A and B are shown apart, each in its own frame.
Chain A
Amino acid sequence: MVAGLTKGERQFAIVISVVLALCGLFLAGAGHQRPLGVHGLLIAFLGIATVFVVLSGYIAPEPSEERLSSYYDDPSKAGIIIAMIWAIFAMFIGDWVAWLLAYPEMTFDAAWASFGRLRPVHTTGVIFGFGGNALIATSFHVMQRTCRARMPDQLSPWFVLLGYNLFCILAVSGYFIGVTQSKEYAEPEWYADIWLVIVWVTYFVLYLRTLARRQEPHIYVANWYYLAFILVVAVLHIVNNLAVPVSLGHAKSYSAFSGVQDAMTQWWYGHNAVAFFLTAGFLGMLYYYLPKRAERPIFSYRLSIISFWGITFLYMWAGSHHLHYTALPHWVQTLGMTFSVMLLVPSWASAGNALLTLNGAWHRVRDDATLRFMMVAAVFYGISTFEGSFLAIRPVNSLSHYTDWTVGHVHAGALGWVAFITFGSIYAVVPILWKRERMYSARLVEVHFWLALAGTLIYVFAMWNSGIIQGLMWRTYTESGTLAYSFIDSLVAMHPYYVARAIGGLLFLIGAAIGFYNIWMTVRTAREEPLEPVADRPIASDTPAGAVQPGE
């Protein structure tokens, strides 16, 4: 890692780490006994540790000029491994809270183990830890390939990757000790938020600098999606986290907005986190790795451009559908609902574009579990965007809101779409990054695929059932006009579904663990030995030259 940096970059890395450690020491001093003090010490420790890591490699010879004739993939490799570690950790926590909902006594009477603290650990861990690291790692890979250009320097990708993980660690460790600003998906407090702004702006500038070095006349569409993800997340993050801390020595802060404005800002942020973090970036993955793995260009490049602008400009207005039947002005709710329904058009354009790309390569989908991961992702993308538009309609929302239907919808998207496209992309990119011919075991990719699919289906069906039953029980009246069921009645009715959901999640977690083992063994196994006769790689073109393929 340090050996890849030039002398100047090593010195700059030390300066950054020292400044970071000093900031940590300041926070530790100012926040002494409070949670902020703990985080200050953590920051100082990680800063000093980084100084030692850089110093230990400081006298190594500088990288040769030869490096400029290859892409810089070390940060991508680290990012993939880190993403998988976050996946195992956060999915484990997710399954834990799933069992906790079925058996609420499992908290050991400890504050850190309560549902309210563990749940954001799960959401932050999977979205930002797993998803975010996978996005950063693959974006570094995609932007260099599509630009035919090496990243402009070696230090900034490491700063982005490691700095981003510092943010994730501050976020997750904060929840355990009770630090939160109580905004969904924006729980970290002001000091972590400021740090993320610095990291994120560096990420954006790095991406633009790489694009500026490109030789290709046209910027490939995957980059548009990645750039939209980076730019819009920066805007969302800054606006939603405008807050005034109680003091520089206190973790607690108060939002710049109040009342319904605060709620609207939060859900403008929250829904666009779904749109730009969990959709745009992963569509970037889809538009690069799916054509590459299928060895076919995207079905319609034009359609991909039209759906890009559709998704970018329509999603911006959809957030208010989270606030139906609230103090939010009625016309703003209607606006969010209308835009949510319109979103179906660009969403299905993307999903259809992906599936039509596979038209004519279905034999590869059958034989290659990696490509099948991406195909199922496109199907779930289509399903969950339809469901999302549907749930955003006000009368539907009156049945679904506050029920497990929402949870089912989120997981159809997060497991079926986001995690599937991520695993597919990771299985496609790992052999390329480590210059292996194929994954360690194609059979384990297959096992992972079926565990993940079974887990997702069990999860989603359990939550659909549970959510609709909940919604109906809460609005069933007796002849005398009183509610027929108490809340606890609905809770008892949920129990079997909660157990089923936890089992589905467990299958998904086991699949991810098998995936991590497979990736680890791919990295560890020497390049030469052929492992299995059945190769996990794109199946070579088997149509005779000149033959017309369906869909062309």
Chain B
Amino acid sequence: MIDLDHDILVAFAKSFGLFYLMALSIGVVVYACWPSNKKRFERAARSVLDDEEGPWR
């Protein structure tokens, strides 16, 4: 069994945390700026302006 002492845990947390947060931020920016999502986002942004007619059935 690997000996998980404090230093190993800290080293893992520091390196893994850096890379996963960087990957996450790149992923989010790519998703938000992906050209084919533009239409969907614009539709969503406008959809709240008039939404009181009642639910679909």
Contact = CB atoms under 8 A, between A and B. Distances in A.
Interface of A: 68-71, 144-150, 215-222, 288, 291-292, 295-298, 301-303, 305-306, 309-310, 313, 331, 432
A221 B46 CA distance: 12
Contact of B31 (A221, A303, A305): A305
Q: Which 9 A-B pairs have the closest CB atoms?
A: A297-B45, A301-B41, A150-B55, A302-B32, A309-B28, A145-B51, A301-B45, A305-B32, A218-B44
B15 interface: no
Contacts of A432: 52
Contacts of B28: 305-306, 309-310
Contacts of A221: 44
Contacts of B25: 309-310
Contacts of A217: 40, 43
Contacts of B24: 309, 313
Nearest to B52: A432
B42 to A, nearest CB: 7
Contact of B47 (A70, A149, A216, A310): A216
B57 A68 contact: yes
Interface residues of B, number: 25
B49 interface: yes
A306 B55 contact: no
A144 B49 contact: no
Contacts of B29: 306
Contacts, number: 76
B33 A146 contact: no
Nearest to A289: B48
Contact of A144 (B32, B46, B55): B55
B11 to A, nearest CB: 11
A218 B55 contact: no
Given A292-B49, A302-B33, 8 more contacts: A215-B56, A220-B48, A221-B44, A295-B49, A297-B46, A298-B45, A306-B28, A309-B25
B21 interface: yes
A69 B32 contact: no
Given A291-B49, A306-B28, A309-B24, A148 B44 contact: no
B55 A148 contact: yes
Contacts of B45: 291, 297-298, 301
A219 B43 CA distance: 11
Contacts of B31: 305
Given A218-B43, A309-B25, A70 B52 contact: no
Interface string B11-38: 0000000000100110011011100000
9 contacts: A144-B55, A147-B55, A148-B55, A149-B55, A220-B47, A301-B45, A302-B33, A306-B29, A310-B25
B56 A148 contact: yes
Contact of A148 (B41, B42, B43, B51): B51
Contact of A218 (B33, B40, B56): B40
A222 B54 CA distance: 19
A331 B7 CA distance: 12
- Of the candidates B29, B49, B54, B55, the one having the most CB atoms from chain A within 10 angstroms of its own CB is B55
A216 B41 CA distance: 11
Given A291-B49, A292-B49, A302-B33, A70 B44 contact: no
B5 to A, nearest CB: 14
Nearest to A317: B17
A292 B51 CA distance: 10
A432 B24 CA distance: 39
A288 B48 contact: yes
Given A70-B54, A144-B55, A301 B48 contact: no
